[in-house]
Structures are given as structure tokens and as C-alpha cells.
Structure 1
Amino acid sequence: MRRSHLIVTLEETTLINAPIDRCFDLARSVEVHLAGNIHFGEQAVPIGGVTSGLIDLGEQVTWRARHLGIRQNLTSAITAMDRPAYFQDTMLRGAFRFMQHDHYFRFDEDGQTEMKDIFRFAAPIPILGRIAEVLLLRRYMQALLHERNVVLRRIAESNDWQRYLSATEQ
């Protein structure tokens, strides 16, 4: 990654009234990811990676969805993990020049899990990409991240989490 490419950093912090292990595992669930992106027609496709369950260190998943009117594939892998405090997914192939998502989890004194996302990306086309980033991509990606976290929080705080995790994964 050359320094001449603008890397955008987005942050989102979500407080969840649920145990840290549950939140950590739900954040790695392919099905929860899909539930948080349902209106984009997103699916996990069988292209040399997992398509269901919890994605683990070293595993890949390829997502297919329509974003900004364009159908695209994005393959990412879990490139770092320290359960239940942290994991990182990194784009291996896709429309962006660079994309990396750090997920941090901390259980606080009030009995809540703080889930903090640090999401970094670089637009696909250097010059036009910078214009698109300023006008569109930053807001679009922040909205996607927020929407995903709202769905994850709803699932974690209700009994719905049991549909996604077995009792031993909780």
C-alpha cells in the first residue's frame, strides 16, 4: 500500500447488555453479518472459504452484494485474534485498494460489553476515489457499520442469539 493513497478511518462504539463472549462470537458469525446487511442481498458464496457459522483465525469468507448499484465480491480473512477481546479482518480481494476492520471488546463495570470498531479503507481509484471518498464512501461505510452494530446489539440482547450460537459457544 503506497502512502499516496488516502486511508479513511471510521470508528464506532456500541454498548451491548450481553456477555463479552456472546458479543465476540456474534461479531464473527456469518449469519449475523448477513442479518445486518439483508437489504443489500448480501450472501456468503462458496469460493474457497466458509459460508456459515463462526469465522476463525486464518479462515476466509467471500461476500457477494450490491452496493452503490454495483454487484461485487469481497473476500476477507481473519488475520488476527485474541478471544474474546479482539479480532481483525482484512480484505484479500475486492473493490477497495485496502480494507481492514479491527473489532475490540471490553466488559465494563456496569455489566455491559463495549464493542469498538476501527474500520480503515482506501478508495478503489486514486483520484476519482478521493472525490468519491469525500462525497460518498465515508458516509456510506459509516452507515453500514452502524447498521450492522444495531442488528448485532438487538440479537445479543434478546433471545435471538440462541439461533446463531449454540449454548457451548455462548
Structure 2
Amino acid sequence: MPALIEVVSVINAAPSVVFDLTLDVDVHTASLPASRETATTSTGRRQLVLGDEVTFHARHFGLAWRMTSRITAYERPYRFVDEQTRGPFRALRHEHQFQDFDGVRTQMTDRMTISAPLGPLGVVVTWALVAPYLRRLLMQRAAHITYLAQAHEP
């Protein structure tokens, strides 16, 4: 049974600003300093677009993690999706939506669906530990993007 994590933030910045910050791998890694995350892109560019892959290396739960995701949908500045192609989950799909309120405010919604490996044990670990942990990481990343986006706006 997949776990669904959703985090909604309202940011005082235009959707295009928020969208671009969210696809910047340097912004992503800077938002999670405790995990010492690094990111390597398939193209060498730091700003991701449709079809790009990015491999993240980080420490979570005291363990080294490696995950590669691909941008599988891209509708600037309203929506994009990244999906795990290699990594610790049976499946991970992360949909990012950006709703324009009035040209100066954006509702950013992170909707992540994860399916656990390891059968029933993996499901229990995912629901009890991994999903709440990922929710906190998404909230931390959203706060960082909010700070940068609002500092960027005049």
C-alpha cells in the first residue's frame, strides 16, 4: 500500500520564480544541510528540464542513500513530476504543482507517493518512519524555497 505525503505552502512570489527555484538542484541540496546531500545531473546543468535525471547522495537515518530520479512531466510554471528510476523505494513519484493566486502569490503543493520494498515489513517501516521523515524534509525544503523566492521578489 503506497504512502501519500502532501505539503502545501503559500509563497509571496510569482509561480515562475517558485517553479525555477524548485528545479534548481543547488537550491534543493542547500535546503537539506543536515543530510549532506549532493546532486549530480545527467546533463551537468543545475536547472532541470523534462527528461533530465539527477542522482542524489545523502545520509538519512545514519545510512548512506543514493537515488536517481527523472523529470517525467514538465509544464512551466504550473507543474512538474519527478520519479525514481533507481533507489531505495519500490516506487517514488513526486508531483510539484504551482497555482497562481494573483501573479504575486503562489500555492506550492508537493505530493509524494512512495511504495516500500520488503513486503509487509517495508510497508510498516514506510508508514511509521519513512513517510513522517519525508514529510519533514519536504516542509524544510518548502521553507527554504519560500525564503529564497520572497527574497527574490522586489
1:53 corresponds to 2:12: no
Hey, what's the Cα distance between the residues in 2 that align with 1:42 and 1:80?
24
User: What RMSD in Å do the two structures reach over aligned CA positions?
Assistant: 1.5
1:75 corresponds to 2:68: yes
Hey, what's the Cα distance between the residues in 2 that align with 1:157 and 1:51?
27
1:15 corresponds to 2:10: yes
How far apart are residue 68 of structure 1 and its match?
Answer: 1.1
Contact between 1:44 and 1:52, CA under 8 Å: does it hold in 2? no
Paired letter, 1:71:
A
How far apart are residue 110 of structure 1 and its match?
Answer: 7.7
1:136 corresponds to 2:129: yes
How far apart are residue 117 of structure 1 and its match?
Answer: 1.1
How far apart are residue 108 of structure 1 and its match?
Answer: 0.5
TM-score normalised by L of structure 2: 0.93
Which one has a bigger Cα radius of gyration? 1
Write the mapping of 1:74-113 to structure 2, written as runs, cut at 5 A.
74-109=67-102, 111-113=104-106
Hey, what's the Cα distance between the residues in 1 that align with 2:118 and 2:150?
40
How far apart are residue 156 of structure 1 and its match?
Answer: 0.6
Give the secondary structure class of the aligned counterpart of 1:158: helix
Give the secondary structure class of the aligned counterpart of 2:144: helix
Question: Which residue number corresponds to residue 35 of structure 2?
Answer: 40
Contact between 1:30 and 1:51, CA under 8 Å: does it hold in 2? no
Structure 1 runs of 4+ off > 3 angstroms? none
Paired letter, 1:100:
R
How far apart are residue 52 of structure 1 and its match?
Answer: 4.7
- Tell me the percent identity: 33
Paired letter, 1:123:
A
Hey, what's the Cα distance between the residues in 2 that align with 1:92 and 1:15?
30
How far apart are residue 45 of structure 1 and its match?
Answer: 3.3
Hey, what's the Cα distance between the residues in 2 that align with 1:90 and 1:7?
14
How far apart are residue 76 of structure 1 and its match?
Answer: 0.3
Query: How many residues of Structure 1 are paired with residues of Structure 2 in the alignment?
Result: 153
Unaligned runs of 5+ in 1: 1-5, 162-170
